[in-house]
Structure 1
């Protein structure tokens, strides 16, 4: 389970998926939905791969074609999340700073998915209470940080591997997660990104 979003990028719409691609996507979604339902009902460690395959009406071979490891069943939109993060930077409106673009992405995707959603709360509790999922999530966020930092560097004209780009990517990804515990998560995220915006503006002015 990951946050859903509405694609606001300009340009021609993507070509519609063919029948085979639609079938594969539907099968993948059915597997992920069955897995999450079972995990939330009984706990991650008490559910086996064969049970998930049976619940989704697929073979275990088919399941592993879509999800090579058990942990990936919980983070079924991992690659899509990274794509959306990078697009938020690369496709931001002209004149919009990178921190503000990332703030808008956080408010319209990650926090929007959490607003009043008991299932999202159950999902976060599942991950927090399962060591294997916590480790997988940490590695996933490290990958996203690296991809986002590269995009930030390229869009800013800074050197690849510039620590400032890595720091901005890291804090931009962590801000929504840290805000969940606040009474007003959206205000907390906005405040966090105000700090990032001021620091980034000062840095880029110096670099210029």
Structure 2
């Protein structure tokens, strides 16, 4: 999970990085992405452009400043899950803990609008999610004993990563997230066989500690 910097130098670097990212997002939201230069951001954060590039590879990376941390937490959710907990249950728990608070951030709508309205950011986000898909798919495959490029593991990773976008805009994001995970966990036939609205009043089938764990190949 996220490591808190313990040394003075590490704390200073983390604070500088955060100040740059905060300044960039503020300027992007105020002026528009294309109207803000790297120099504008460096000046607003009171750092040199050289310092800025020590922390970020470019303008797009400034918007997705927690990209690497998010990926690290995703992999940790799989690899460091509790003993007996299934991969899917661990990822469900992570999604509910990590994504729902972000969706409730007061500037979440502005941020999403910025990304959706800026082609460069949309392209960067797609590349970012593709990389996350590969990393998460590999982690899942490793845990379950499959080949690292197993298509089912890659597909599962892709589905999991799409859940925040699918739940966005729903009046009850938690319920939407849970319902999507139920679909992935129990399959369409289970949901299709249920009366309309049943999931809102009755709990899903109990998940055992070993549920959804694919047996390792001999």
Change over 3 Å in CA distance of 1:203–1:106 after alignment to 2: closer
Partner of 1:193: 181
Structure 1 CA distance, aligned partners of 2:178 and 2:216?
24
TM-score (normalised: structure 2) = 0.84
Aligned match of 2:59 in 67, 70, 86?
70
1:11 corresponds in structure 2 to: none
Aligned partner of 2:149 among 150, 161, 169: 161
- Residues 99 and 172 of structure 1 are in contact (CA less than 8 Å); yes or no, is this contact kept in structure 2? no
Query: Hey, what's the Cα distance between the residues in 2 that align with 1:38 and 1:189?
Result: 32
Whichever of the two has the greater Rg, that structure is 2
- RMSD over aligned CA atoms reads 2.1
Q: Please list every run of 5 or more consecutive structure 1 residues that lacks an aligned counterpart in the other structure.
A: 1-6, 9-13
Shift of 1:118: 2.4
| 1:204 correspondence with 2:214 | yes
Count of paired positions: 196
CA distance in 1, matches of 2:185, 2:217: 15
CA 203–88 in structure 1, closer or farther in 2 if over 3 Å, else same: closer
Q: Is the 8 A contact 1:145 1:169 kept in 2?
A: yes
Deviation of residue 87 (structure 1)?
Answer: 0.4
Q: Decide whether the 8 Å contact of 1:44 with 1:130 is kept in 2.
A: yes
Deviation, structure 1 residue 15: 7.8
The answer on 1:28 being equivalent to 2:17 is: yes
Candidates 83, 86, 103, aligned match of 1:114: 103
Q: In the alignment, is residue 140 of structure 1 matched against residue 128 of structure 2?
A: yes
Corresponding residue number in structure 2 for 1:39 = 28
